[in-house]
Amino acid sequence: MITHRYYITTIIAILLFLSLGILIGGTLGQQWINEKQQSLISHFENKTDELVKTNKTLEKENEELVLSYQQLKDDYQILFGKSIATILDGKQILWLNHNEENEFESLKGTIKNAGAILFEADLEKDNQYLNYDYDAILLVIKSKEDFQLGNEIALSKVPVILVHSEDKGKIEKLDNDNDIYVQNINEEALNDHYQFIHFLNKLLEEQKHE
C-alpha cells in the first residue's frame, strides 16, 4: 500500500509540475509572441511611414518635372512661332481637302502663323476652287494611290504638294514636267512643320524668279 501511495503521490506531483510548467511556459511564450508581434508591427509601421514620405517626395518631384516639361514645350512653341513668322507673308495657298477627317489642323495653323493666306475647298464638292490665282496648292491625300490627282489639278507654274501621313520622309518631286511634290508629315512633330514651311518658301521664291 505504501508503494502504491508513493506511486500515486509521485504521479500527482509529476502532473502538477507538468501543469505548472505548461501554465508558466504558456504565459511566457504568449508574452514572447506578443513582444515579437509588437516588434514586427512597429517595424512595418516605420517602413510604411518611410514609404509614404518617399512617395510624397517622388510625387512632388514628378509635379516639378511635369511643370518644367510644360514650360519647355511652351518656350519651344513660342520660339517656333517666332522662327517662322512672316516667312510666307502674303502668299496665297489653296488647301484642298480630299479626306473626310479633319487631318492636319495643326499644319494649317502653322501655315497661317507663317503669314500665308490660306483658302480651303473640298476637292469633290467645290468646282470653283481653280478659278483663282494661288501661289501653291496643297492637297491632302488618303494614300499613295491618290498621287495621280496631282496631275489632274496641276496649274501652269503653280506648285502642287500632296500631303499625307502614311510614312515619314522627305519631300519628293513626283513629276519633272510639272511642279508636283509629295510630303510625308508627322502632324505632332514641329520639326516637320518647320522644314515644310522653309521648303514651301524656297519653292515659291524659285517660282517667282523664273
DSSP-assigned letters across all residues of 39-102 = HHHHHHHHHHHHHHHHHHHHHHHHHHHHHHHHHHHHHHHHHHHHHHTTTTTT-EEEEEE--SS-
CB 84 within 8 Å of CB 126: no
Give pLDDT tens digits for 153-195.
Answer: 765 567 888 887 755 555 566 655 667 788 888 888 888 898 8
Give pLDDT tens digits for 13-34.
Answer: 666 656 656 655 655 556 656 6
The pLDDT assigned to 1 comes to 47
Residue 130 has pLDDT above 70, yes or no: no
CB atoms within 10 A of CB 82: 10
Supply the mean pLDDT for the chain.
Answer: 76
CB 132 within 8 Å of CB 154: no
Identify the architecture of domain 87-208 in CATH: 3-Layer(aba) Sandwich (3.40)
Alpha carbon distance, N-terminus to C-terminus of the chain: 140
Give pLDDT tens digits for 56-67.
Answer: 888 898 999 999
Cα 46 to Cα 50: distance, rounded to the nearest angstrom: 6
